[in-house]
Amino acid sequence: MADFDPNALDELIHSKLRLGIMSMLISVEYAEFTVLKEKLQATDGNLSANLRKLEEAEYVTVVKTFVERKPQSRYSITDKGKTAFEKYIANLEKLIKQ
Amino acid sequence: MEHNISAQESLDYIKNVILDSKNIIKENGAAAILWGIVIVTAQITTFLLIQNKIYNPIPWVWAAAISAGWTVSLIISRKESKTGVVTRTLKIDSAIWSSALVVMPIIGFAGTYTGMISPFAINPIIALILGSSYYVTGVVYSDKVFKTISFAWWIGGTSLFWVNNHYSFLIFAAMMIFFQIVPGLILYTRYKKTEVENG
Protein backbone atom coordinates (compact mmCIF):
# COMPACT_ATOMS: atom_id res chain seq x y z
CA MET A 1 0.00 0.00 0.00
CA ALA A 2 1.64 3.26 -1.10
CA ASP A 3 1.81 6.22 1.29
CA PHE A 4 0.83 9.68 0.12
CA ASP A 5 3.14 12.00 -1.69
CA PRO A 6 1.57 15.21 -0.34
CA ASN A 7 3.10 17.28 -3.15
CA ALA A 8 1.04 15.40 -5.72
CA LEU A 9 -2.23 16.13 -3.99
CA ASP A 10 -4.41 19.21 -3.67
CA GLU A 11 -3.71 20.52 -0.17
CA LEU A 12 -7.16 22.04 0.08
CA ILE A 13 -8.76 18.63 -0.18
CA HIS A 14 -5.94 16.76 1.52
CA SER A 15 -7.35 16.85 5.03
CA LYS A 16 -9.70 14.25 6.47
CA LEU A 17 -12.59 16.60 7.20
CA ARG A 18 -12.33 18.53 3.92
CA LEU A 19 -12.06 15.26 2.02
CA GLY A 20 -15.17 14.07 3.85
CA ILE A 21 -17.02 17.28 2.94
CA MET A 22 -16.04 17.02 -0.72
CA SER A 23 -16.90 13.29 -0.87
CA MET A 24 -20.30 13.94 0.59
CA LEU A 25 -21.12 16.96 -1.55
CA ILE A 26 -20.02 15.22 -4.78
CA SER A 27 -22.85 12.70 -4.33
CA VAL A 28 -25.70 15.03 -3.35
CA GLU A 29 -27.38 18.10 -4.80
CA TYR A 30 -26.89 19.90 -1.51
CA ALA A 31 -26.43 19.13 2.16
CA GLU A 32 -27.37 21.29 5.09
CA PHE A 33 -24.74 22.23 7.69
CA THR A 34 -26.26 20.03 10.39
CA VAL A 35 -26.32 17.02 8.04
CA LEU A 36 -22.62 17.49 7.23
CA LYS A 37 -21.89 17.87 10.93
CA GLU A 38 -23.76 14.69 11.84
CA LYS A 39 -22.47 12.55 8.98
CA LEU A 40 -18.85 13.65 9.31
CA GLN A 41 -18.96 13.72 13.12
CA ALA A 42 -17.40 17.18 13.26
CA THR A 43 -17.76 20.04 15.70
CA ASP A 44 -19.46 23.31 14.64
CA GLY A 45 -16.22 25.29 14.76
CA ASN A 46 -14.07 22.78 12.94
CA LEU A 47 -16.67 22.21 10.24
CA SER A 48 -17.26 25.96 9.74
CA ALA A 49 -13.53 26.64 9.43
CA ASN A 50 -13.01 23.88 6.89
CA LEU A 51 -16.10 24.81 4.90
CA ARG A 52 -14.85 28.41 4.78
CA LYS A 53 -11.54 27.25 3.30
CA LEU A 54 -13.38 25.30 0.61
CA GLU A 55 -15.67 28.27 -0.02
CA GLU A 56 -12.72 30.63 -0.40
CA ALA A 57 -11.21 28.24 -2.94
CA GLU A 58 -14.61 28.22 -4.70
CA TYR A 59 -14.81 24.45 -4.33
CA VAL A 60 -18.13 24.70 -2.49
CA THR A 61 -20.89 27.23 -2.44
CA VAL A 62 -23.44 28.04 0.24
CA VAL A 63 -27.04 29.18 0.01
CA LYS A 64 -28.53 30.56 3.19
CA THR A 65 -32.25 30.06 3.44
CA PHE A 66 -35.10 29.78 5.93
CA VAL A 67 -37.13 26.60 6.39
CA GLU A 68 -40.11 27.14 8.68
CA ARG A 69 -38.45 30.30 10.06
CA LYS A 70 -35.27 28.40 10.92
CA PRO A 71 -32.04 29.43 9.14
CA GLN A 72 -30.43 26.75 6.97
CA SER A 73 -27.05 26.80 5.24
CA ARG A 74 -27.14 24.52 2.22
CA TYR A 75 -23.76 23.58 0.82
CA SER A 76 -23.13 22.23 -2.65
CA ILE A 77 -20.05 21.47 -4.72
CA THR A 78 -19.09 23.82 -7.58
CA ASP A 79 -17.81 22.82 -11.03
CA LYS A 80 -14.35 23.94 -9.94
CA GLY A 81 -14.70 21.74 -6.85
CA LYS A 82 -15.80 18.75 -8.93
CA THR A 83 -12.80 19.12 -11.24
CA ALA A 84 -10.42 19.45 -8.28
CA PHE A 85 -11.95 16.41 -6.58
CA GLU A 86 -11.71 14.29 -9.73
CA LYS A 87 -8.07 15.32 -10.14
CA TYR A 88 -7.43 14.46 -6.49
CA ILE A 89 -8.87 10.97 -6.94
CA ALA A 90 -6.91 10.46 -10.16
CA ASN A 91 -3.72 11.35 -8.27
CA LEU A 92 -4.65 8.95 -5.47
CA GLU A 93 -5.12 6.16 -7.99
CA LYS A 94 -1.75 6.95 -9.56
CA LEU A 95 -0.16 6.70 -6.12
CA ILE A 96 -1.76 3.32 -5.51
CA LYS A 97 -0.48 2.00 -8.83
CA GLN A 98 3.08 3.19 -8.12
CA MET B 1 -4.49 11.43 6.35
CA GLU B 2 -1.97 13.95 7.55
CA HIS B 3 -1.12 11.06 9.84
CA ASN B 4 0.31 8.57 7.33
CA ILE B 5 -3.00 7.18 6.10
CA SER B 6 -2.38 5.31 2.88
CA ALA B 7 -3.75 6.23 -0.53
CA GLN B 8 -5.88 3.08 -0.52
CA GLU B 9 -7.33 3.94 2.89
CA SER B 10 -8.13 7.40 1.63
CA LEU B 11 -9.95 6.02 -1.41
CA ASP B 12 -11.87 3.65 0.87
CA TYR B 13 -12.83 6.61 3.08
CA ILE B 14 -14.12 8.54 0.03
CA LYS B 15 -16.08 5.48 -1.12
CA ASN B 16 -17.66 5.04 2.33
CA VAL B 17 -18.69 8.69 2.60
CA ILE B 18 -20.19 8.64 -0.91
CA LEU B 19 -22.11 5.40 -0.27
CA ASP B 20 -23.35 6.71 3.06
CA SER B 21 -24.49 9.97 1.43
CA LYS B 22 -26.41 8.11 -1.28
CA ASN B 23 -28.23 6.14 1.41
CA ILE B 24 -29.28 9.18 3.43
CA ILE B 25 -32.71 9.17 1.87
CA LYS B 26 -34.07 5.77 0.96
CA GLU B 27 -37.42 5.22 -0.65
CA ASN B 28 -39.70 4.39 2.28
CA GLY B 29 -42.77 3.33 0.30
CA ALA B 30 -45.09 5.84 2.00
CA ALA B 31 -46.02 7.62 -1.25
CA ALA B 32 -46.60 4.28 -3.01
CA ILE B 33 -48.94 3.08 -0.24
CA LEU B 34 -50.93 6.32 0.02
CA TRP B 35 -51.26 6.86 -3.76
CA GLY B 36 -52.15 3.16 -4.06
CA ILE B 37 -55.00 3.43 -1.56
CA VAL B 38 -56.35 6.56 -3.30
CA ILE B 39 -56.26 4.98 -6.77
CA VAL B 40 -57.72 1.63 -5.62
CA THR B 41 -60.61 3.51 -4.01
CA ALA B 42 -61.21 5.53 -7.20
CA GLN B 43 -60.96 2.44 -9.44
CA ILE B 44 -63.42 0.40 -7.38
CA THR B 45 -65.80 3.38 -7.12
CA THR B 46 -65.63 3.84 -10.91
CA PHE B 47 -66.32 0.13 -11.44
CA LEU B 48 -69.37 0.24 -9.14
CA LEU B 49 -70.68 3.43 -10.75
CA ILE B 50 -70.44 1.94 -14.26
CA GLN B 51 -71.95 -1.33 -13.01
CA ASN B 52 -74.93 0.68 -11.75
CA LYS B 53 -75.04 2.86 -14.90
CA ILE B 54 -74.25 6.06 -13.00
CA TYR B 55 -71.77 7.93 -15.19
CA ASN B 56 -71.89 11.63 -14.21
CA PRO B 57 -69.90 11.48 -10.95
CA ILE B 58 -66.97 9.56 -12.52
CA PRO B 59 -64.86 12.63 -13.51
CA TRP B 60 -65.46 14.09 -10.03
CA VAL B 61 -64.33 10.87 -8.36
CA TRP B 62 -61.08 11.10 -10.32
CA ALA B 63 -60.66 14.83 -9.72
CA ALA B 64 -60.98 14.18 -5.98
CA ALA B 65 -58.61 11.19 -6.15
CA ILE B 66 -55.91 13.10 -8.08
CA SER B 67 -56.22 16.11 -5.74
CA ALA B 68 -55.90 13.84 -2.70
CA GLY B 69 -52.89 12.09 -4.25
CA TRP B 70 -51.13 15.35 -5.07
CA THR B 71 -51.80 16.66 -1.55
CA VAL B 72 -50.20 13.51 -0.13
CA SER B 73 -47.22 13.89 -2.48
CA LEU B 74 -46.70 17.52 -1.48
CA ILE B 75 -46.81 16.63 2.23
CA ILE B 76 -44.23 13.86 1.70
CA SER B 77 -42.04 16.17 -0.42
CA ARG B 78 -42.12 18.88 2.30
CA LYS B 79 -41.17 16.29 4.91
CA GLU B 80 -38.23 15.14 2.78
CA SER B 81 -36.99 18.71 2.25
CA LYS B 82 -36.70 19.07 6.04
CA THR B 83 -34.00 16.39 6.13
CA GLY B 84 -31.53 19.05 4.96
CA VAL B 85 -30.07 17.02 2.14
CA VAL B 86 -31.14 16.26 -1.40
CA THR B 87 -29.43 13.40 -3.19
CA ARG B 88 -29.15 13.19 -6.98
CA THR B 89 -31.07 9.90 -6.96
CA LEU B 90 -33.92 11.55 -5.06
CA LYS B 91 -33.93 14.45 -7.52
CA ILE B 92 -34.13 12.11 -10.53
CA ASP B 93 -36.75 9.94 -8.80
CA SER B 94 -38.88 12.96 -7.88
CA ALA B 95 -38.61 14.31 -11.43
CA ILE B 96 -39.76 11.08 -13.08
CA TRP B 97 -42.69 10.62 -10.68
CA SER B 98 -43.75 14.28 -10.83
CA SER B 99 -43.79 14.13 -14.62
CA ALA B 100 -45.75 10.85 -14.53
CA LEU B 101 -48.25 12.39 -12.11
CA VAL B 102 -48.74 15.29 -14.54
CA VAL B 103 -49.02 13.13 -17.67
CA MET B 104 -51.39 10.49 -16.28
CA PRO B 105 -54.28 12.85 -15.34
CA ILE B 106 -53.87 14.67 -18.70
CA ILE B 107 -54.27 11.36 -20.54
CA GLY B 108 -57.19 10.42 -18.30
CA PHE B 109 -59.11 13.68 -18.45
CA ALA B 110 -58.20 15.17 -21.85
CA GLY B 111 -58.11 11.77 -23.55
CA THR B 112 -61.59 10.75 -22.46
CA TYR B 113 -63.16 14.25 -22.62
CA THR B 114 -62.15 14.70 -26.26
CA GLY B 115 -63.06 11.12 -27.10
CA MET B 116 -59.57 10.54 -28.50
CA ILE B 117 -59.00 7.70 -26.02
CA SER B 118 -61.54 5.09 -24.96
CA PRO B 119 -62.17 5.15 -21.16
CA PHE B 120 -61.15 1.49 -21.08
CA ALA B 121 -57.82 2.29 -22.75
CA ILE B 122 -56.82 4.68 -19.97
CA ASN B 123 -55.85 1.95 -17.49
CA PRO B 124 -53.49 0.04 -19.81
CA ILE B 125 -51.77 3.29 -20.83
CA ILE B 126 -51.44 4.38 -17.18
CA ALA B 127 -50.10 0.93 -16.25
CA LEU B 128 -47.38 1.21 -18.92
CA ILE B 129 -46.40 4.70 -17.70
CA LEU B 130 -46.26 3.37 -14.11
CA GLY B 131 -44.06 0.52 -15.33
CA SER B 132 -41.62 2.97 -16.92
CA SER B 133 -41.55 5.18 -13.81
CA TYR B 134 -40.91 2.16 -11.60
CA TYR B 135 -38.14 1.04 -13.94
CA VAL B 136 -36.33 4.41 -13.68
CA THR B 137 -36.74 4.32 -9.88
CA GLY B 138 -35.31 0.79 -9.86
CA VAL B 139 -32.32 1.89 -11.92
CA VAL B 140 -31.50 5.04 -9.91
CA TYR B 141 -31.81 3.23 -6.56
CA SER B 142 -30.31 -0.02 -7.95
CA ASP B 143 -33.33 -1.74 -6.41
CA LYS B 144 -34.50 -5.13 -7.68
CA VAL B 145 -37.95 -4.72 -6.08
CA PHE B 146 -38.75 -1.68 -8.25
CA LYS B 147 -37.29 -3.27 -11.38
CA THR B 148 -39.43 -6.40 -10.88
CA ILE B 149 -42.52 -4.24 -10.28
CA SER B 150 -41.92 -2.40 -13.54
CA PHE B 151 -42.11 -5.67 -15.51
CA ALA B 152 -45.30 -6.61 -13.65
CA TRP B 153 -46.87 -3.26 -14.64
CA TRP B 154 -45.77 -3.63 -18.27
CA ILE B 155 -47.16 -7.18 -18.54
CA GLY B 156 -50.36 -6.21 -16.69
CA GLY B 157 -50.77 -3.05 -18.78
CA THR B 158 -50.33 -4.92 -22.05
CA SER B 159 -52.86 -7.56 -20.92
CA LEU B 160 -55.40 -4.84 -20.06
CA PHE B 161 -55.60 -3.82 -23.73
CA TRP B 162 -57.64 -7.01 -24.18
CA VAL B 163 -60.12 -6.05 -21.44
CA ASN B 164 -62.43 -3.68 -23.26
CA ASN B 165 -65.03 -3.31 -20.50
CA HIS B 166 -65.47 -1.87 -17.00
CA TYR B 167 -63.79 -4.90 -15.40
CA SER B 168 -60.61 -3.14 -16.50
CA PHE B 169 -61.06 -0.87 -13.44
CA LEU B 170 -61.36 -3.84 -11.11
CA ILE B 171 -58.29 -5.57 -12.57
CA PHE B 172 -56.32 -2.32 -12.36
CA ALA B 173 -57.33 -2.00 -8.68
CA ALA B 174 -55.99 -5.52 -8.07
CA MET B 175 -52.77 -4.64 -9.92
CA MET B 176 -52.44 -1.52 -7.80
CA ILE B 177 -52.77 -3.62 -4.62
CA PHE B 178 -50.26 -6.28 -5.68
CA PHE B 179 -47.80 -4.15 -7.67
CA GLN B 180 -47.85 -0.99 -5.56
CA ILE B 181 -49.43 -1.22 -2.11
CA VAL B 182 -47.89 -4.59 -1.16
CA PRO B 183 -44.37 -3.65 -2.40
CA GLY B 184 -44.86 -0.26 -0.69
CA LEU B 185 -45.59 -2.06 2.58
CA ILE B 186 -42.48 -4.24 2.10
CA LEU B 187 -40.37 -1.10 1.50
CA TYR B 188 -41.93 0.64 4.49
CA THR B 189 -41.18 -2.34 6.76
CA ARG B 190 -37.60 -2.51 5.40
CA TYR B 191 -37.17 1.28 5.94
CA LYS B 192 -38.48 1.12 9.51
CA LYS B 193 -36.20 -1.83 10.28
CA THR B 194 -33.16 0.10 8.96
CA GLU B 195 -34.24 3.16 10.96
CA VAL B 196 -34.38 1.09 14.17
CA GLU B 197 -30.99 -0.50 13.41
CA ASN B 198 -29.43 2.95 12.83
CA GLY B 199 -31.00 4.25 16.02
Torsion of CA B65, B119, B157, B41, to 10 degrees: 30
Is B1 in Cβ contact with A4 (below 8 Å)? Answer: yes
Is B85 in Cβ contact with A30 (below 8 Å)? Answer: yes
In chain A, how many domains are there?
A: 1
B199 in contact with A, Cβ within 8 Å: no
Is A96 in Cβ contact with B8 (below 8 Å)? Answer: yes
Note down pLDDT in tens along chain B; length 199 residues: 444 467 777 788 888 888 777 666 566 788 889 999 999 999 999 999 999 999 999 999 999 999 998 898 888 877 776 677 777 778 888 889 889 999 999 999 999 999 999 999 999 999 999 999 999 988 888 888 889 999 999 999 999 999 999 999 999 999 999 999 998 898 888 877 776 665 5
Backbone angles phi, psi at B166, to 5 degrees: -70, -10
Chain A residues whose beta carbon lies within 8 Å of the beta carbon of residue B10: 4, 19, 92
Size of interface A-B (CB pairs under 8 A): 92
Please enumerate in sequence order all residues whose Cβ is within 8 A of that of B34, keeping only pairs 6 or more positions apart, or say none: B69, B72, B76
Domain assignment of residue A1, yes or no: no
- Cα of B180 to nearest chain A Cα, Å: 27
- The domains of chain B are located at 2-182
Query: How far apart are alpha carbons A25 and A59 in whole angstroms?
Result: 10
Per-residue pLDDT tens digits for A2-35:
455 556 678 888 888 999 999 999 888 889 998 8
Is B13 in Cβ contact with A3 (below 8 Å)? Answer: no
CATH code for position A22: 1.10.10.10
Is A27 in Cβ contact with B88 (below 8 Å)? Answer: yes
Query: How far apart are alpha carbons B135 and B141 in whole angstroms?
Result: 10
Is A19 in Cβ contact with B5 (below 8 Å)? Answer: no
Q: How confident is the model at residue A52 (pLDDT cuts 50, 70, 90)?
A: very high
Domain assignment of residue A13, yes or no: yes
Query: How far apart are alpha carbons B128 and B164 in whole angstroms?
Result: 16
Which residue(s) pair with A30 in the sheet? B86
Give which of A24, A26, A66, A82 to mutate to test B binding, by max B Cβ within 10 Å.
A24
pLDDT at B2: 46
pLDDT at B197: 66
- Cα of B15 to nearest chain A Cα, Å: 8
The parent domain of residue A90 ranges over 6-97
Is A39 in Cβ contact with B24 (below 8 Å)? Answer: yes
Using DSSP, state whether A64 is helix, strand or coil: strand
